[in-house]
Amino acid sequence: MSMNKRSKRKLLVVMVLLGVALATVLGLTAFEENLLYFYSPTMVKNGEAPAERSFRAGGLVVAGSVERASDSLLVKFDITDNEETMRVEYSGILPDLFREGQGIVAMGAFNDKNVFVATEVLAKHDENYMPPEVASALKAAEQNK
């Protein structure tokens, strides 16, 4: 009887360990799949950005580059790190503080026509705010000049 109890306790410990191990494995897999890397327009131009998976790109919205479709919510604009620019396409409502010259971060991937299509556009809610990624991308581009 006591042997039985002890083996039951052992079984419980083993099951808990297995559970935690399983959660860790699944967690790390999900983690790896959902890591989003940040690329500046220069890095994208250099072909460093992945072709198949989502990533984040950021820069300043180029003045005069914002084009809207007349019959849908499609909008196209360029972002720049003052060195290179890249085109972003987005269909939907832009954040309140999206405007020319503002630093933004777009999350998305290249489609089969090699156009970067954003699923989300982030502009932080402070007009003086610059996303840190964009700030460092601008700095890096400045140093490379």
Asked if residue 36 lies in contact with residue 106, where contact means CB atoms within 8 angstroms, the answer is no
Minimum CB separation of residue 112 from another protein in Å reads 22
Q: Does 72 bind another protein (CB under 8 A)?
A: yes
21 binds another protein (CB under 8 A): no
Query: Is position 33 an interface residue for another protein (rule: CB under 8 A)?
Result: yes
Calpha distance 132→103 (Å, rounded): 10
Degrees, nearest 5: CA angle 97-101-104: 55
CB 41 within 8 A of CB 59: yes
| C-alpha angle 54-56-62 in degrees, rounded to nearest 5 | 130
Structure tokens at 59: 């820069």
| Residue 71 makes contact with another protein by CB under 8 A | yes
Closer CB to another protein, 26 or 63, in the complex: 26
CA dist., res. 10 & res. 110, Å (int): 51
The answer to whether 52 contacts another protein (rule: CB under 8 A) is: no
Compute the distance between CA of residue 12 and CA of residue 81 in angstroms, rounded to an integer. Answer: 56
Considering the rule CB under 8 A, would residue 124 count as an interface residue with another protein? yes
Residue choice 46, 50, 132, 142 for contact with another protein (CB under 8 A) = 132
Residue from 3, 34, 64, 114 in contact with another protein (CB under 8 A): 34
| Residue 144 in tokens | 């490379």
Quick check: 3 binds another protein (CB under 8 A)? no
Would you count residue 91 as binding another protein (CB under 8 A)?
A: yes
**What residue ranges bind another protein (CB under 8 A)?**
5, 8-9, 11-12, 16, 19-20, 23, 26-27, 30-31, 33-38, 54, 56, 68, 70-73, 91-94, 96-97, 105, 124-127, 131-133, 136
